[in-house]
Amino acid sequence: MTLDREQVLRSAAALLSRKSTATMDEVARAAGIGRATLHRHFAGRDALVRALENLGIQEFEAALDAAALDEGSAEEGLRRLVIAVEPAAGLLSFLVTENQLFEGDDLNEGWDRLDARVAAFFRRGQESGEFRIDLTPAWLTEALYALIGAGAWAVQVGRVAGQDFPHMIAELLLGGARRSVEQ
Amino acid sequence: MTLDREQVLRSAAALLSRKSTATMDEVARAAGIGRATLHRHFAGRDALVRALENLGIQEFEAALDAAALDEGSAEEGLRRLVIAVEPAAGLLSFLVTENQLFEGDDLNEGWDRLDARVAAFFRRGQESGEFRIDLTPAWLTEALYALIGAGAWAVQVGRVAGQDFPHMIAELLLGGARRSVEQ
DNA sequence: CTCATTTGAGACGCCAATGTCTCACCGTGG
DNA sequence: CCACGGTGAGACATTGGCGTCTCAAATGAG
């Protein structure tokens, strides 16, 4: 019996990534459980979102670990990160837009840590000479999040093939749209 | 007397860009009018959002016209577009996320036209050899929207200086984060 | 098998926001 | 001066979703 809390969170993430205004009832149905049961495990919508936040933070952190950003070139690190983060892209996109709604009073401090890790990665890339220095690490971090969200959305609605997700994001973020001479 | 409908829409856009869940009452207060008056001019929240949609489409279209994407190099065209779109960035960002909520049944056809114009611009850039061809026009279009939204947000919360908005977006989209040899 | 625990379904009450309405007020034009 | 159209403030009913509760059924442990 013992409800699989993890599984409920997964399906909630999948649903809310697509429809961020989904009802508690819809979330419950999507998870194949009753609304009452959902409420027994998550005190309310806030608690559910916070649990999803923790899940998202945990997954993004795992992706950062798996990417081993310190090893090899910064470019390779970024490619590994994008690949590692793909499964969590939808959830992260949902959480980012959700966070933008709050006034910042009860922001989960986990985001700061993640932001710092990503920004530090870009900064290292700049210091090693791989990344240009006229784009700030903070902006590159924001841009990475935005492109991950856009990529997840584009795949969702079928504008981009799912298999192209890592390539589209990493290539655009690294090399931009301009056709460079070296190609 | 005769309420300035345009001005009401402007302040509503400014408020909703920051807080997309703002109440009709908050929107009215922000415009300096009563809630009843707001309802007299916009039948409901839906009508208000649709009016904002038309405003956003109109402004984006105007930005596309002003950018004269056909003149000069594609790169210059893109830079002009980003500059021209900046004033409407917040509104567009709000509308994009708002659109993602709907199932697509009552989507304003104006977006298709705009998407087509932007995608056609990227395609021309590819055909002229300026833009790389491994990133699809559809993806470049989505990426442009995402970066505009991220830029507006980053400026909003102070992570990026307002004056850097065009440079950050255009440079990242054109050249990416990689430090190229030509620099 | 029996019992304790958990679940699903539904019935509430509650609350915030919406949409409508009334009424007093005020500016403007006649 | 006065009539009129538009406005602000507030009252009101409605709606949709939330959170709580109850109870019968199902499930699993012992």
Q: Which of residues 42-101 of A touch strand D (CB under 7 A)?
A: 43-46
Q: Which residue in chain A is spatially nearest to B75 when comparing CA positions?
A: A178
A12 within 8 A of A31, measured Cβ to Cβ: yes
The answer to whether B1 CB is within 7 Å of strand D is yes
Q: What is the DSSP string of B42-98?
A: SSSHHHHHHHHHHHHHHHHHHHHHHHTTTSS-HHHHHHHHHHHHGGGHHHHHHHHHH
The answer to whether A40 CB is within 7 Å of strand D is no
B166 within 8 A of B86, measured Cβ to Cβ: yes
- Asked if residue B168 has pLDDT above 60, the reply is yes
Q: Do A178 and B154 touch (CB under 8 A)?
A: no
Both tokens of residue B83?
Answer: 């500059």
Question: In sequence order, which residues have a C-beta less than 8 Å from that of residue A177 and are 6 or more positions away?
Answer: B78, B122, B125, B131, B132, B135, B140, B173, B174
CATH pick for B53-175 out of 1.50.10, 3.80.10, 3.90.1200, 1.10.357: 1.10.357
pLDDT, one tens digit per residue, over B41-56 is 999 999 999 999 999 9
Residue B2: its H or E element = none
CATH pick for B1-42 out of 1.10.10, 2.40.10, 1.10.3470, 3.30.70: 1.10.10
A99 within 8 A of A114, measured Cβ to Cβ: no
pLDDT tens sequence for chain A (183 residues): 566 899 999 999 999 999 999 999 999 999 999 999 999 999 999 999 999 999 999 999 999 999 999 999 999 999 999 999 999 999 999 999 998 887 766 678 899 999 999 999 999 999 999 999 999 999 999 999 999 999 999 999 999 999 999 999 999 999 998 987 654
**Residue A106 C-beta-side C-alpha neighbours within 13 Å:** 8
Both tokens of residue A163?
Answer: 């298999």
- What are the sequence ranges of the domains in chain A? 1-42, 53-175
Q: How far is residue B128's CA from residue B122's CA, in Å, rounded to a whole number?
A: 10
In this complex, the nucleotide whose C1' atom is nearest to the CA atom of residue A28 is: C8
Q: Which residue in chain B is spatially nearest to A165 when comparing CA positions?
A: B139
pLDDT, one tens digit per residue, over B70-118 is 999 999 999 999 999 999 999 999 999 998 887 766 678 899 999 999 9
Distance, CA of A23 to C1' of D18, in Å: 10
Please, what sign has the CA dihedral across residues B38, B44, B45, B47?
Answer: negative
Q: How far is residue B152's CA from residue B155's CA, in Å, rounded to a whole number?
A: 5
